Structures are given as structure tokens and as C-alpha cells.
Amino acid sequence: MAKAKQPQQKQIDMNRVLNDPVYFIEEVIGMKLVPFQAEWVRDILKYHRLTYMAFRSSGKTRQMFVNFFLWCAVTRPNTQYLIISKTLPQAIEVLKDIRLTILTNPILKSLVPSNRSQSWSRTELELDNHSRILSKAYNDNVRGLHVNGVGCDEMGEYEDHEILRKAVLPTIRAKRGFFVGVGTPKSELDLLHEIEREPGFKSIHFDRFPAEGEKGDLFLQRYPDTTIHRVAGAVEIRDKKSGKILESYNNMTWAQEFLLKPVSMKDKLFPSHMVEKCLDQSLTFQPAVVNMCQYFMGVDFAMSAQSGSDFTVISILEKHPGSKKFKLVWMERLRGLDYSMQKSRIKELADQYQITKALGDENSFGKTFIYDLKADGVPIDGYKFTYQSGSKEELVKALRDQFEKEGFIIPHSPNDTKTRTVVDTLVDELTKFGIVFDMRKKKVSFEGTGKHDDTVISLGLANFIARNISMGVFSAIKGSGQKHNPFAIK
């Protein structure tokens, strides 16, 4: 009786495994890469530090972090790698994919240590060759780690850009490790765009991989069984054989998520050229009132008086009879002061400028401030920011409109340190305010992408009340159901 023919075992070239991550991914893990994905993983070895902007569902997380980081850990004993995501649950999911890849692969399974229950956790795993892969959220807690490679996933979602410079990149300094960052852009003010254009990131190689463009039809490379169809106001992804619609995206979503074209810099809410037209280099802040003028105050309250919290910012605008321009006569940023000291300072400035009306951020900590300031005789009302009512957008749109009309006079004298310092902060925060499309909520929102936006909100509140005080009937508190006129001058 003839013996059954045994299936021939796949021959693996160990030399290629050690030196070529593409070979490892395709022959050991068993995942075929399309050309641009193969380019990604080989480029990490070529450039050592790189960031790629790539279209949604291009396979960037799987190839750059799961497969490439696993290759590093398998082929380089006694090394350590760090994967960072915006949130810890996202980081844990990446490590979970690595763990499943190991456990379901006959070759890689041999690298599972005997003490797996002790050496594997939701945020860390160690192989039998003593290489480790860690997963963490994007925050300051990565300080103190020294790794051979770090990867940042979905960098377009990261909010505090300074964490990359001050906490993430130092983790690879001691071991001269590699850095790889990927993501799909959220706005032209996000961290991906900052890396692309800032001279301080010249050590990081940057490139773009849109679904369509100069590099070719990458979406169709990734999904060869589909076709792309453009219809009125939308882009449809259809099955190549049946013509059935698989997915549909509006033009804004397709441009941002697939063509890597978020809202243009030309459409930034407060571009530098617009703000600069309102700056007056001959003026300083004005501590005294002018006869026949009205003064309006906007206050953005800090969440707390703790060190490291936001600033409480007070802005005061002067409104001159017969002029449509508002002059910023005072702006002050308070930080680290206790509640009573902040309240006293607001009261002092309200009395000093004989405020006609003040408007304060009523959310959270501000509600208590407003109640107590009213009791002290300050003519202040609250403005409640709610996502549903679009109240923040209304406030910011009014501020943008005033800048478009060159409707501000903002002192910016180089001879006065107080004026220059505060206004420079204002200009920085204004130019970092952008329009962001939220893919999950399918809504456009106005957001500050810098570390703070307190001066913008404070000026916006002062501008909002100054523009509307003469309207007779006006309601400040959005969605509050308030029926009386809070701004009636009595």
C-alpha cells in the first residue's frame, strides 16, 4: 500500500527573516502586502524617523505597528518597543492584535514564554527572547522609558503637541531608537501637519499616501475588488463584479479621510494676515476710561485655581459712539489664584472701567463665579456653551466676522512688555483656531488646537455682548429658556 504524500513544509529563509521585514510579514505572518505598504515598512529602516499621512483603512496600523513591531521584537532579542495611541483602550487593541498574531501562528507561537501569565498583560507582552512590547496612551506618563523604537498611531487626533517633543521623542534618545508616526489628518492645525511644515521636525522624514493622486490609485491597490464612483455630492465604493454599493461618503469626508485634504489653511478661522490688520503698534493697554464710551467685559473662567490649570482670562473692549470698531483696552490672564482673589480682581476691573455689561462662560466653575459677582454688583450674565445648540460656533463666528471687517483695534506696542506679551498669546491662540470635521459625529466644529484657547473665548464673549447690547431684546444663555432681557440697561 502506497504511503500518503505528506504536505511539503514551507521553507523559511532565516537570513531574509532577520533582514527584511516585508519577507517576514509575507512568509511568516502570511499577509500579502500591496506595494505602498511594503514601501512603508522598508522605509522605517531607511529613514529611522518617519511620519506618514495615509488614507483611512489603508492598513497603516496593522502593517506599521502590529506586523513591523512584531518583526522587531522577534528578530532583535533583549529589545523594547513602545506603541502609543490617543487613548489607552486604543493602545490596548493594537497590543491585542499582536498577541493574537503570535498565538495563532505556528512559527511565532514558539516564542511565547513559559511564564506567559506573569509576563503578558493588557499593556505589555514579553517574548521568550526577552524582547518586550508596551502600549500606552499619549500623555506625559511615557517619560522615563528608554526604548529601541516608538510608534504613534493616529497622530492627527493628538491634542497637546508638546507631549511629542517633551515626552515621546526622548524615549528613543538613549538607545538611538527609531520613531514611526502615522495617521489620517483631522485639520491643517493637527500634529501631522505640524511635523510636515515645522523646521523643528526636520529630522523626521514625512510623506503622504492619499487614496488617489500622484502616487497612483492606492485605494484600488488596497481593495482591487472595488471601483470608485463619483455622484452628486458623494463618492461611492462599489463591488467590482456586482456593482453593489459597499460604502458611500460625502465629498467633505472623502477629501479629509481619503484624499488627506482637511479644511484649507485659507479657511482657517483667524489666519495671521486677518489678525495682523487689527494690530496697532503705537498703542498700549489703556487703564482709564474715555468719556462717552461704553466698556464691555468677557470672562473665560479657569476650571480651578490649581497649578497647571487653564487661565482665567478677562478682556475689556471699548465701544466708541459712531465707530464700528472695538478697541481692546485690557486683557489679563490669571493663573494659580484662589477663588476669592480671582473674583476680587474681576470686580476691581469692572469698577475701574465702569462696565456696561459683562459676559462670562457659565459652564462648570463659571456658574458659581457669575452668581457671586452678580451679588457683588457686577453687571454680568452667563453664556452657556452646549454642543447641541451650536452656541460656541455662534460666538466664534461673531468673532471671526468682527476680524473680517477689521473691526478691532488691538494694541501691540513693542515698547510695553505687558501689552506685547498678552497680545502675542492672543495672536498665537487665534491662529491655532481651526475648523475640524468630526468623523464620528458627522459634524463640523470650531476648536483651538493649541494648548490653550482662553484668550480667544474671553475676547469672543466681550465681542459678543458689545455687538448685541444695542439690540433691545437679547438672550445670552443659550438654551436656558430665559424669558427676560438680561442685557436691558436700567
Mean pLDDT of the 409-433 span: 92
Q: What is the pLDDT of residue 335?
A: 85
Percent of the chain beyond pLDDT 70? 85
CA distance 288 to 330: 10
Q: What is the pLDDT of residue 10?
A: 66
Answer whether residue 305 shows pLDDT above 90: no
Answer whether residue 179 shows pLDDT above 80: yes
Model confidence band, residue 352 (pLDDT cutoffs 50, 70, 90): very high
Q: What is the pLDDT of residue 239?
A: 96
> What would the pLDDT profile of 188-236 be if each residue is shown by its tens digit?
668 898 898 877 788 899 999 999 999 999 999 999 999 999 988 789 9
Question: Would the pTM count as exceeding 0.85?
Answer: no
Q: What is the pLDDT of residue 90?
A: 93
Model confidence band, residue 50 (pLDDT cutoffs 50, 70, 90): very high
Please, what is the average pLDDT of the chain? 86
**Which has more pLDDT, 263 or 114?**
114
